[in-house]
Structures are given as structure tokens and as C-alpha cells.
Amino acid sequence: MEVTLNGEVRSLVGNPPAIGEELPHFKVFDKDGEKIKTRFLFGKPTLISVIPNINTSVCSIQTKKFNEEVDKYKEANFLTVSTNTIEEQQNWCAAEGVKNMQLVSDHEESFGYAMKLLIPDEGILARSVWVVDAEGKITYREICPEIVMEPDYATAIAELKKLL
């Protein structure tokens, strides 16, 4: 699959999973450096916001928008995933006052390879939003065709609400 970055074509490491498929196995790291594996997300509907780099404007906007929604949906998991280091993510959270959204680091690229969202030439993930049911089945996905484009926040939240 391909996306563009400022109009220039970038190739992903494969074709990301489709709606109806199971969430692949991966591991990411939370703010304390603890591993979060796919199975830890089961039991609750989950919204996964995937961003290329937390230190860019569109990624910052996307993370803040979903952070505003977290408290409204206590019965759901919200994650933001990027290849930024844990330290970079925590510095951003401190600077922006983001406390509720859980940022997780894919610095080992496990998530990127499993989800086929890694852009290997850049070492970043393709901007996307995923909604997964409590059993781990993908019920919604949006992969932004242009990396600097914001996702459709309202539709992603509406899809999450259907699972609650």
C-alpha cells in the first residue's frame, strides 16, 4: 500500500489489516517502559490513533482531539501510537498538558510491521485511526492517503460509540 507525504509517494511495508480481521499481535511501550501487548487491549472496545511524529503540528492536533474524548468513554481504551521514544512522548505530554490519552511508543517497530503501517524509508507510521471491538476484531479503519491530512474524528468516535 502507498500513501503520500506532502504529495510524494511513500510505500508501507505491506497491506494493513482490513475491517473484520483480528488485530495482529504486537508490542508497544507505555510511559514507564512497560510492554503493552495486543491481548492487554481485549475486554474493552479500543480506539487506536496512529501518528507519524508527535512533534509535528498535525500529529499534535490529532492527539489533542482524541485526548478531549477520552474522559467521555471510560469503558473504552484510547491509545496513540508513534515511533517516537517514550521520552519524546512524555516531553510532549508535559508541554501540551495532555494527561488522559495514553501515548505508547513503537520505537521497536513491532506495531508498524504487524499492522503494515511502517514507512521504512522514513521510520514512521502512516497516519491512521482504528477501532477494535472487545474481542480484538477491527471494526473501523481510516488510513489517511496523505500523511499531513487529519483523520475523520467524528466518524471514528461514532464507530467507537457503536461498540459501547
Q: Would you please indicate which residues are annotated as catalytic (active-site) residues?
A: 59
Cell numbers of 150, please?
487529519
- Residue 11 backbone phi and psi in degrees, to 5: -100, 140
Around Cβ 97, how many Cβ atoms within 10 Å?
8
Cα(101)–Cα(132) distance, integer angstroms: 17
CA nearest neighbour of 132 among 8, 70, 46: 46
Q: Where are the beta strands (DSSP E) in 60-158?
A: 77-82, 102-105, 118-119, 124-125, 128-132, 138-143
Is 19 within 8 Å of 138 (Cβ atoms)?
Answer: yes
How many DSSP H helices and E strands does the chain contain? 4, 11
